[in-house]
Homo-oligomer: A and B are copies of this chain.
Amino acid sequence: MSQTPSKASGESLLFLTDEQLRKGIEAMFFAYRGFTADPDRILEERGYGRAHHRAVHFIRRSPGTTVNNLLSILGVTKQSLNRVLRALIEDGLVLSEVGTRDRRERHLTLTAEGAALDRALSDAQSHRMRMAYKAAGPEAVAGFRSVLEAMMDDTMRAQYDALKDRG
């Protein structure tokens, strides 16, 4: 299992020690905490959680999407999503309209108030990401994105790719 580095930590070829991999794992852990910290503060003020954030984000991203589609993107059960969706609808942030072609479906869109919340959350999160990008430099940003994309499951990457065009 554990590697015995023949030379040292190579830079041209990809030789990775357990320590390097472990450090990468920890970087993900701590960075994800930072990544969610700012939106969490905003959400708390309104009594929402991360689940609400995710729902709002992806509805904004794909206006008119169905509950089923949102389900597969978020990777949760419909019952779980339904709870947060119900709250958002009752609070007037999300609009749920019966489908015209298939009346079993509900098409979800953000109201003006929902869009405002999305903007507040997105701005907070983008600000941190912009600062990180600025600190790390353009090449680092490209590397960051390509490692993250390679880390997704295939099914996730398909959904990730399907969301609008590539940055």
Contact = CB atoms under 8 A, between A and B. Distances in A.
Contacts of A30: 148, 152, 156-157, 159-160
A141 B33 CA distance: 20
Contacts of A35: 25, 28, 151
A142 interface: yes
A8 interface: no
A26 B138 contact: no
Contact of A31 (B9, B128, B130, B149): B149
Contacts of A149: 27, 31, 136
Given A30-B157, A33-B152, A34-B152, A136 B132 contact: no
Given A12-B138, A138-B12, A152-B33, A163 B26 contact: yes
B143 A142 contact: yes
Contacts of A129: 21, 24-25, 151
